[in-house]
Copies of this chain bind each other. A is one copy, B any other.
Amino acid sequence: MPASRKRVTLRDVATRAGVSVAQASFALNGQGRVAPATVERVRRAASDLDYQVDGRARALRTGQRSAYGVVIRNMRNPFFLDVLRGMEVRAHREGAFLLILSSDYDVDREAAALRRLAAEGVGGVAISPIGRHGPLAAWLPRHPDVPVVAFNRTPEPAPPEGDRLSTVGPDDGAAVDLALEHLRARGHRAPTLVMAPEGLAADWGREEAFVRRCAEWGLAGTVVRCPLDHDSVARMVVERVGASAGGGTAGHEAFVVNSDYLGSAVYAAARSLGSRVGRDLSVVGHDDLATSELLDPGLTTVGVDRELLGDHAMRLLVSPDEAPEGRRVRLPVHLVERNSVALLHD
Protein backbone atom coordinates (compact mmCIF):
# COMPACT_ATOMS: atom_id res chain seq x y z
CA MET A 1 0.00 0.00 0.00
CA PRO A 2 1.22 3.51 -0.82
CA ALA A 3 1.79 6.16 1.75
CA SER A 4 -0.87 8.25 3.47
CA ARG A 5 -3.99 6.48 4.60
CA LYS A 6 -6.85 8.81 5.39
CA ARG A 7 -9.01 8.34 8.40
CA VAL A 8 -11.56 5.59 7.99
CA THR A 9 -14.97 7.16 8.25
CA LEU A 10 -18.41 5.79 8.84
CA ARG A 11 -19.23 6.40 5.22
CA ASP A 12 -16.49 4.02 4.19
CA VAL A 13 -17.90 1.34 6.41
CA ALA A 14 -21.40 1.96 5.06
CA THR A 15 -20.42 1.71 1.42
CA ARG A 16 -18.40 -1.40 2.05
CA ALA A 17 -21.36 -2.99 3.79
CA GLY A 18 -23.65 -1.74 1.06
CA VAL A 19 -25.96 0.24 3.32
CA SER A 20 -26.61 3.85 4.14
CA VAL A 21 -24.61 5.77 6.69
CA ALA A 22 -27.63 5.90 8.91
CA GLN A 23 -28.04 2.16 9.01
CA ALA A 24 -24.36 1.74 9.63
CA SER A 25 -24.55 4.05 12.59
CA PHE A 26 -27.61 2.28 13.95
CA ALA A 27 -26.05 -1.10 13.47
CA LEU A 28 -22.93 -0.22 15.36
CA ASN A 29 -24.72 1.47 18.20
CA GLY A 30 -27.53 -1.04 18.53
CA GLN A 31 -30.10 1.67 18.04
CA GLY A 32 -32.97 1.88 15.62
CA ARG A 33 -34.41 -0.98 13.63
CA VAL A 34 -31.92 -2.90 11.64
CA ALA A 35 -32.02 -6.47 10.37
CA PRO A 36 -29.69 -8.88 12.16
CA ALA A 37 -28.01 -9.79 8.89
CA THR A 38 -27.24 -6.13 8.26
CA VAL A 39 -25.79 -5.70 11.71
CA GLU A 40 -23.47 -8.55 11.00
CA ARG A 41 -22.37 -7.15 7.66
CA VAL A 42 -21.71 -3.72 9.09
CA ARG A 43 -19.80 -5.13 12.01
CA ARG A 44 -17.62 -7.10 9.73
CA ALA A 45 -17.00 -4.14 7.44
CA ALA A 46 -16.07 -2.01 10.43
CA SER A 47 -13.58 -4.46 11.77
CA ASP A 48 -12.19 -5.12 8.31
CA LEU A 49 -11.43 -1.47 7.88
CA ASP A 50 -10.33 -1.05 11.47
CA TYR A 51 -12.92 1.64 11.93
CA GLN A 52 -12.89 3.81 15.03
CA VAL A 53 -15.59 6.35 15.63
CA ASP A 54 -14.38 9.90 15.75
CA GLY A 55 -14.82 10.99 19.31
CA ARG A 56 -14.95 14.66 18.43
CA ALA A 57 -17.68 14.31 15.87
CA ARG A 58 -19.75 12.15 18.14
CA ALA A 59 -19.31 14.50 21.04
CA LEU A 60 -20.26 17.43 18.86
CA ARG A 61 -23.41 15.83 17.62
CA THR A 62 -24.65 14.19 20.77
CA GLY A 63 -23.41 16.64 23.31
CA GLN A 64 -22.51 13.49 25.13
CA ARG A 65 -19.36 13.97 27.08
CA SER A 66 -16.76 11.29 27.19
CA ALA A 67 -14.14 13.47 28.77
CA TYR A 68 -13.96 14.58 32.35
CA GLY A 69 -11.80 17.33 33.70
CA VAL A 70 -9.50 17.04 36.67
CA VAL A 71 -8.00 20.12 38.22
CA ILE A 72 -5.30 19.45 40.74
CA ARG A 73 -4.19 22.06 43.16
CA ASN A 74 -0.72 20.77 43.72
CA MET A 75 0.65 18.44 41.17
CA ARG A 76 3.76 17.80 43.21
CA ASN A 77 1.97 16.04 46.01
CA PRO A 78 2.23 12.26 45.61
CA PHE A 79 -1.08 12.02 47.41
CA PHE A 80 -2.76 13.09 44.23
CA LEU A 81 -1.05 10.56 42.04
CA ASP A 82 -2.90 7.75 43.75
CA VAL A 83 -6.13 9.68 43.56
CA LEU A 84 -5.51 10.20 39.88
CA ARG A 85 -4.97 6.54 39.43
CA GLY A 86 -8.26 5.73 41.08
CA MET A 87 -9.98 8.19 38.79
CA GLU A 88 -8.26 6.84 35.75
CA VAL A 89 -9.26 3.27 36.42
CA ARG A 90 -12.87 4.23 36.92
CA ALA A 91 -12.87 6.49 33.88
CA HIS A 92 -11.41 3.73 31.78
CA ARG A 93 -14.14 1.40 32.94
CA GLU A 94 -16.73 3.97 31.86
CA GLY A 95 -15.05 4.49 28.54
CA ALA A 96 -14.18 8.04 29.45
CA PHE A 97 -11.12 10.21 29.30
CA LEU A 98 -9.44 12.38 31.85
CA LEU A 99 -8.33 15.89 31.01
CA ILE A 100 -5.83 16.79 33.63
CA LEU A 101 -4.85 20.33 34.51
CA SER A 102 -3.07 21.79 37.44
CA SER A 103 -3.80 25.04 39.18
CA ASP A 104 -0.64 25.24 41.27
CA TYR A 105 -2.42 27.21 43.94
CA ASP A 106 -2.77 30.01 41.43
CA VAL A 107 -6.19 31.59 41.31
CA ASP A 108 -5.81 32.66 37.70
CA ARG A 109 -4.76 29.23 36.60
CA GLU A 110 -7.69 27.66 38.35
CA ALA A 111 -10.01 30.06 36.59
CA ALA A 112 -8.35 29.38 33.26
CA ALA A 113 -8.54 25.65 33.77
CA LEU A 114 -12.25 25.78 34.48
CA ARG A 115 -12.86 28.01 31.50
CA ARG A 116 -10.99 25.71 29.16
CA LEU A 117 -12.70 22.64 30.47
CA ALA A 118 -16.08 24.21 29.92
CA ALA A 119 -15.09 25.16 26.39
CA GLU A 120 -14.07 21.60 25.76
CA GLY A 121 -17.47 20.44 26.85
CA VAL A 122 -16.43 18.02 29.54
CA GLY A 123 -19.03 15.89 31.23
CA GLY A 124 -17.90 16.86 34.69
CA VAL A 125 -15.10 18.33 36.70
CA ALA A 126 -13.23 16.91 39.65
CA ILE A 127 -11.27 19.57 41.38
CA SER A 128 -9.19 20.08 44.45
CA PRO A 129 -10.10 23.72 44.78
CA ILE A 130 -7.77 26.37 46.02
CA GLY A 131 -10.33 27.75 48.34
CA ARG A 132 -13.95 27.86 49.13
CA HIS A 133 -14.35 31.28 47.59
CA GLY A 134 -11.98 31.03 44.70
CA PRO A 135 -12.75 30.93 41.00
CA LEU A 136 -14.73 27.75 41.43
CA ALA A 137 -17.39 29.60 43.39
CA ALA A 138 -17.81 32.07 40.55
CA TRP A 139 -17.72 29.41 37.89
CA LEU A 140 -20.30 27.06 39.38
CA PRO A 141 -23.48 29.09 38.83
CA ARG A 142 -22.47 29.92 35.29
CA HIS A 143 -22.32 26.26 34.32
CA PRO A 144 -25.37 24.75 35.88
CA ASP A 145 -25.34 21.48 34.00
CA VAL A 146 -21.78 20.38 34.62
CA PRO A 147 -21.46 18.13 37.65
CA VAL A 148 -18.60 19.11 39.89
CA VAL A 149 -17.00 17.23 42.72
CA ALA A 150 -14.39 18.61 45.07
CA PHE A 151 -11.85 16.13 46.31
CA ASN A 152 -9.33 16.92 48.94
CA ARG A 153 -6.73 15.65 51.26
CA THR A 154 -8.89 16.95 54.00
CA PRO A 155 -12.49 17.62 53.13
CA GLU A 156 -14.00 21.03 52.96
CA PRO A 157 -16.81 21.88 55.31
CA ALA A 158 -20.21 20.84 54.11
CA PRO A 159 -21.35 23.32 51.47
CA PRO A 160 -24.47 25.38 52.11
CA GLU A 161 -27.77 23.73 51.43
CA GLY A 162 -28.71 23.52 47.78
CA ASP A 163 -25.14 23.81 46.62
CA ARG A 164 -24.49 21.59 43.65
CA LEU A 165 -20.95 20.86 44.71
CA SER A 166 -20.33 17.25 45.69
CA THR A 167 -17.41 16.48 47.93
CA VAL A 168 -15.23 13.46 48.62
CA GLY A 169 -12.60 13.23 51.28
CA PRO A 170 -11.33 11.21 54.16
CA ASP A 171 -13.50 11.20 57.23
CA ASP A 172 -11.51 13.63 59.29
CA GLY A 173 -13.50 13.23 62.43
CA ALA A 174 -12.95 9.51 62.38
CA ALA A 175 -9.28 10.06 61.69
CA VAL A 176 -8.88 12.13 64.84
CA ASP A 177 -10.88 9.54 66.73
CA LEU A 178 -8.57 6.81 65.60
CA ALA A 179 -5.48 8.75 66.50
CA LEU A 180 -6.81 9.63 69.94
CA GLU A 181 -7.93 6.13 70.66
CA HIS A 182 -4.52 4.81 69.81
CA LEU A 183 -2.81 7.37 72.01
CA ARG A 184 -5.14 6.64 74.88
CA ALA A 185 -4.60 2.91 74.56
CA ARG A 186 -0.89 3.46 74.90
CA GLY A 187 -1.28 5.49 78.05
CA HIS A 188 -1.27 9.04 76.77
CA ARG A 189 -3.37 11.50 78.71
CA ALA A 190 -2.50 14.88 77.24
CA PRO A 191 -2.52 14.82 73.45
CA THR A 192 -1.92 17.89 71.33
CA LEU A 193 -3.79 18.54 68.10
CA VAL A 194 -1.89 20.64 65.61
CA MET A 195 -4.19 22.83 63.55
CA ALA A 196 -3.79 25.50 60.93
CA PRO A 197 -4.32 29.07 62.12
CA GLU A 198 -7.90 30.18 62.56
CA GLY A 199 -9.72 30.90 59.32
CA LEU A 200 -8.32 28.17 57.14
CA ALA A 201 -11.36 26.05 56.72
CA ALA A 202 -9.67 22.91 55.52
CA ASP A 203 -9.40 21.32 58.92
CA TRP A 204 -12.98 21.63 59.84
CA GLY A 205 -14.30 18.71 61.80
CA ARG A 206 -10.98 17.68 63.24
CA GLU A 207 -11.06 20.09 66.13
CA GLU A 208 -14.64 19.32 66.94
CA ALA A 209 -13.97 15.58 67.04
CA PHE A 210 -10.87 16.20 69.10
CA VAL A 211 -12.49 18.20 71.90
CA ARG A 212 -15.50 15.92 71.99
CA ARG A 213 -13.40 12.79 72.36
CA CYS A 214 -11.08 14.35 74.89
CA ALA A 215 -14.05 15.31 77.02
CA GLU A 216 -15.56 11.88 76.65
CA TRP A 217 -12.42 10.07 77.59
CA GLY A 218 -11.21 12.50 80.20
CA LEU A 219 -8.07 13.50 78.35
CA ALA A 220 -6.34 16.80 78.88
CA GLY A 221 -6.17 17.67 75.20
CA THR A 222 -4.85 20.94 73.86
CA VAL A 223 -5.22 22.45 70.44
CA VAL A 224 -2.30 24.41 69.14
CA ARG A 225 -2.52 26.55 66.04
CA CYS A 226 0.50 27.00 63.88
CA PRO A 227 1.25 27.56 60.19
CA LEU A 228 1.37 24.17 58.57
CA ASP A 229 4.79 24.25 57.01
CA HIS A 230 7.70 22.06 57.98
CA ASP A 231 9.74 24.65 59.83
CA SER A 232 6.94 26.26 61.75
CA VAL A 233 5.75 22.92 63.02
CA ALA A 234 9.25 21.85 63.98
CA ARG A 235 9.76 25.08 65.90
CA MET A 236 6.45 24.72 67.63
CA VAL A 237 7.34 21.21 68.72
CA VAL A 238 10.67 22.30 70.09
CA GLU A 239 9.01 25.06 72.08
CA ARG A 240 6.34 22.86 73.54
CA VAL A 241 8.69 20.09 74.50
CA GLY A 242 11.05 22.61 76.06
CA ALA A 243 8.22 24.19 78.03
CA SER A 244 6.83 20.94 79.32
CA ALA A 245 10.26 19.68 80.35
CA GLY A 246 11.17 22.98 82.00
CA GLY A 247 7.82 23.10 83.76
CA GLY A 248 8.92 20.16 85.81
CA THR A 249 5.96 18.05 84.91
CA ALA A 250 8.19 15.89 82.75
CA GLY A 251 5.16 15.51 80.52
CA HIS A 252 5.44 13.34 77.46
CA GLU A 253 4.31 15.28 74.42
CA ALA A 254 2.08 13.52 71.91
CA PHE A 255 1.14 15.27 68.67
CA VAL A 256 -1.64 14.63 66.22
CA VAL A 257 -0.85 16.27 62.91
CA ASN A 258 -2.86 16.37 59.74
CA SER A 259 -0.27 15.02 57.32
CA ASP A 260 2.74 12.76 57.22
CA TYR A 261 4.71 15.62 55.84
CA LEU A 262 4.24 17.45 59.11
CA GLY A 263 4.89 14.22 60.95
CA SER A 264 8.40 14.29 59.59
CA ALA A 265 8.74 17.83 60.92
CA VAL A 266 8.23 16.39 64.38
CA TYR A 267 11.06 13.97 63.65
CA ALA A 268 13.30 16.85 62.68
CA ALA A 269 12.44 18.65 65.89
CA ALA A 270 13.21 15.53 67.90
CA ARG A 271 16.60 15.23 66.24
CA SER A 272 17.46 18.80 67.09
CA LEU A 273 16.38 18.18 70.69
CA GLY A 274 18.46 15.06 70.93
CA SER A 275 15.41 13.05 71.80
CA ARG A 276 13.81 10.15 70.02
CA VAL A 277 10.37 9.83 68.50
CA GLY A 278 8.47 6.86 69.88
CA ARG A 279 10.31 7.06 73.18
CA ASP A 280 10.65 10.65 74.36
CA LEU A 281 7.81 12.05 72.35
CA SER A 282 5.02 10.72 70.17
CA VAL A 283 3.28 11.64 66.96
CA VAL A 284 0.47 10.35 64.80
CA GLY A 285 0.44 11.43 61.16
CA HIS A 286 -2.18 11.49 58.48
CA ASP A 287 -2.09 10.19 54.87
CA ASP A 288 0.14 7.14 55.10
CA LEU A 289 2.51 8.28 52.41
CA ALA A 290 5.08 5.82 51.16
CA THR A 291 7.77 7.82 52.89
CA SER A 292 6.27 7.24 56.31
CA GLU A 293 7.37 3.66 56.40
CA LEU A 294 10.94 4.66 55.70
CA LEU A 295 11.24 7.05 58.58
CA ASP A 296 13.08 5.81 61.60
CA PRO A 297 11.13 4.84 63.58
CA GLY A 298 8.21 4.21 61.26
CA LEU A 299 5.51 6.85 61.51
CA THR A 300 2.21 5.70 62.94
CA THR A 301 -0.40 7.32 60.81
CA VAL A 302 -4.01 7.43 59.79
CA GLY A 303 -4.41 6.30 56.22
CA VAL A 304 -7.14 6.52 53.66
CA ASP A 305 -7.52 4.60 50.44
CA ARG A 306 -6.53 7.25 47.96
CA GLU A 307 -7.44 5.28 44.90
CA LEU A 308 -10.85 4.71 46.37
CA LEU A 309 -11.11 8.44 46.83
CA GLY A 310 -10.46 8.96 43.15
CA ASP A 311 -12.88 6.22 42.30
CA HIS A 312 -15.66 7.82 44.31
CA ALA A 313 -15.01 11.20 42.83
CA MET A 314 -15.27 9.82 39.31
CA ARG A 315 -18.40 7.94 40.17
CA LEU A 316 -20.07 11.05 41.44
CA LEU A 317 -19.32 12.69 38.13
CA VAL A 318 -20.34 9.86 35.86
CA SER A 319 -23.63 9.17 37.55
CA PRO A 320 -24.38 12.04 39.85
CA ASP A 321 -27.86 10.85 40.65
CA GLU A 322 -27.55 7.26 41.54
CA ALA A 323 -24.85 7.76 44.13
CA PRO A 324 -26.16 5.69 47.00
CA GLU A 325 -23.93 7.36 49.56
CA GLY A 326 -25.24 10.77 48.75
CA ARG A 327 -23.16 13.55 47.44
CA ARG A 328 -21.00 14.17 50.50
CA VAL A 329 -18.73 11.19 50.71
CA ARG A 330 -16.51 10.76 53.72
CA LEU A 331 -14.22 7.84 53.23
CA PRO A 332 -13.34 5.42 55.98
CA VAL A 333 -9.90 5.78 57.49
CA HIS A 334 -7.68 3.25 59.17
CA LEU A 335 -4.81 3.33 61.56
CA VAL A 336 -1.41 2.24 60.32
CA GLU A 337 0.48 1.35 63.45
CA ARG A 338 4.22 1.72 63.40
CA ASN A 339 6.54 2.94 66.10
CA SER A 340 6.16 6.66 66.54
CA VAL A 341 3.92 6.41 69.59
CA ALA A 342 5.57 5.53 72.85
CA LEU A 343 4.02 3.04 75.23
CA LEU A 344 3.62 4.84 78.54
CA HIS A 345 3.26 2.94 81.80
CA ASP A 346 1.45 4.76 84.49
Residues of A within 8 A of B (CB): 3-5, 50, 52-57, 59-60, 67, 75-76, 78, 80-82, 84-85, 88-89, 92, 97-102, 109, 115-116, 118-121, 142, 144-145, 264, 290-291, 294-296
Contact = CB atoms under 8 A, between A and B. Distances in A.
B100 A88 contact: yes
Contact of A98 (B60, B100, B119, B290): B100
Nearest to A60: B56
Contact of A291 (B60, B115, B291): B291
Given A81-B75, A88-B75, A294-B294, A99 B102 contact: no
Contacts of A82: 76
B98 A53 contact: no
Nearest to A92: B101
Nearest to A143: B5
Contacts of A54: 60, 119, 121
7 contacts: A78-B290, A88-B101, A97-B99, A97-B120, A98-B100, A100-B100, A296-B296
Contact of A97 (B52, B80, B116): B116
A5 B78 CA distance: 39
A100 B78 CA distance: 16
A121 to B, nearest CB: 6
A115 B54 CA distance: 11
A67 to B, nearest CB: 8
Contacts of A55: 119-121
Contacts of A294: 264, 291, 294-295
Contacts of A118: 52
Contact of A75 (B57, B85, B291): B85
Contacts of A116: 97
Contact of A144 (B4, B101, B119): B4
A68 B92 CA distance: 17
Contacts of A67: 99
Given A52-B119, A98-B100, A99-B99, 7 more contacts: A4-B145, A50-B142, A56-B120, A81-B81, A92-B101, A264-B294, A291-B291
A102 B85 contact: yes
B115 A52 contact: yes
A101 B91 CA distance: 9
Nearest to A3: B144
A241 to B, nearest CB: 21
Contact of A121 (B56, B78, B98, B121): B56
